[in-house]
Amino acid sequence: MGDEAVQSTNDDASQCKRFAVQKGYWKDPYIQYLVRSGDRRAPEINRGYFARVRGIKVLLDQFLEKTKCSCQVVNFGAGFDTLFWKLKDENKLPDIIVDFDFRAVTSRKCQYVKVRPPLLDQVKAVSGSEAVQIENAELHSPKYHIMWADLRNTSQIESKLRGIDNFDFSKPTVFITECVLVYLQPDKSSELIKWAAESFANSVFINYEQVHMSDKFGQVMVSNLRGRRCELEGIAPCQDLDTQKLRFVSNGFDDAVALEMGEVYRYLPADEVHRVERLEFLDETELLNQLLQHYCLCWAWKDKDQIVTEAVIAL
């Protein structure tokens, strides 16, 4: 799968998110400024996105709470994720958030931020008197950075992070890969994970992506994607929950937990689940269950100073 096709997966993910937001699955007043309204999505897809977005947020919130926001978030393959704006509205901004993606993607995101006041004003609001710089397809401000890099090139990532004045490799740091590693060859995703483990002594790596890809339903998912010229190069570690955990533990993380999304769904706040289940009629719960079984949330940690484990050990 070429880099352009990989980049276009961001358009699909952000359109699905925008559609689910419009339907009322969760609140995100910012996504409308980054992506146009797309086609209608099936209720199962909307519920799947709800579980994905809420599952990651529940873990991240625990980490932010335990570290009292004295931490950093690095979002690899962030696409048009609106995490910075959501955390700002919730008064939960960490010391620094860095979004990484291909230049073609960061260029568009930066351009939208530059020309859309609802996005830019929020970045300015936390920048004090320091200017927000948007140039060369990157955004730099004291708390929020959008930067381009190829995730297959860890020295590029490292040098970009070292270029941020107050970025601190010894501070508790959360890495997020939301539907991203599956697009990297397994040796390249391993390299990225290993670099993160070796460079940060106190960190959590949150990964959301496909699992059980070799069973019947998984094979159908893979061949449907292939039919849309979307070859998942990083499918090998998506075999089962153990292979998902192993990729972190064998590359330097202390330990890891992996849960199917069906299980994550059951841990989500009951009142919210009850509310979203009444938004749209679902006549095929079997399909939803199959979908939820074929995605997982895996989180791994390195905890030299005993700061992070407690924050993420359980959902």
Ligand X SMILES: C[S@@+](CC[C@H](N)C(=O)[O-])C[C@H]1O[C@@H](n2cnc3c(N)ncnc32)[C@H](O)[C@@H]1O
CA distances from 53 to 13, 25, 59, 60 (A): 11, 10, 10, 11
User: Distance (Å, rounded) from C-alpha 12 to C-alpha 107?
Assistant: 17
Is 151 labelled as part of a ligand binding site?
Answer: yes
- Contacting residues for 159 by C-beta, under 8 A, at least 6 apart: none
| Segment interacting with ligand X (CB under 6 A) among 119-127, 180-188, 219-227, 305-313 | 180-188
Nearer to ligand X, 103 or 116 (CB): 103
Total chain residues near ligand X (CB under 6 A): 21
Q: How far is the CB of 225 from ligand X (least distance, A)?
A: 11
Q: How far is the CB of 156 from ligand X (least distance, A)?
A: 9
Residue 252, both tokens = 């330097």
Q: Which residue has the tokens 């919730």?
A: 90
Q: Which of 93, 151, 291, 300 binds ligand X (CB under 6 A)?
A: 151
Residue 77 as a binder of ligand X (CB under 6 A): the answer is yes
Are 261 and 45 in contact by the 8 Å Cβ rule? The answer is no
Q: Which of 179, 193, 292, 311 binds ligand X (CB under 6 A)?
A: 179
Nearer to ligand X, 233 or 255 (CB): 233
| Segment interacting with ligand X (CB under 6 A) among 160-168, 172-180, 224-232, 285-293 | 172-180
| Segment interacting with ligand X (CB under 6 A) among 4-12, 87-95, 137-145, 247-255 | 4-12
Q: How far is the CB of 75 from ligand X (least distance, A)?
A: 7
Are 38 and 104 in contact by the 8 Å Cβ rule? The answer is no
Q: Which of 6, 211, 258, 264 binds ligand X (CB under 6 A)?
A: 6
The binding track of 99-128 with respect to ligand X, each residue x by CB under 6 A or -, is --xx--x-----------------------
Residue 206 as a binder of ligand X (CB under 6 A): the answer is no
Q: Which of 57, 66, 124, 152 binds ligand X (CB under 6 A)?
A: 152
Is 77 labelled as part of a ligand binding site?
Answer: yes
Residue 297 as a binder of ligand X (CB under 6 A): the answer is no
Distance from the first to the final alpha carbon of the chain: 34
Maximum pairwise Cα distance, the chain:
57
Q: Which residue is nearest to ligand X (CB)?
A: 77
At 181, give phi and psi (nearest 5°).
Answer: -60, -30
Q: Which of 10, 189, 203, 251 binds ligand X (CB under 6 A)?
A: 10
Q: Which of 30, 41, 49, 81 binds ligand X (CB under 6 A)?
A: 81
Residue ranges for the binding site for S-adenosyl-L-methionine? 52, 77, 150-151, 178
Give the interface with ligand X as residue ranges (CB under 6 A).
6-7, 9-10, 13-14, 77-79, 81, 101-102, 105, 150-152, 178-180, 183-184
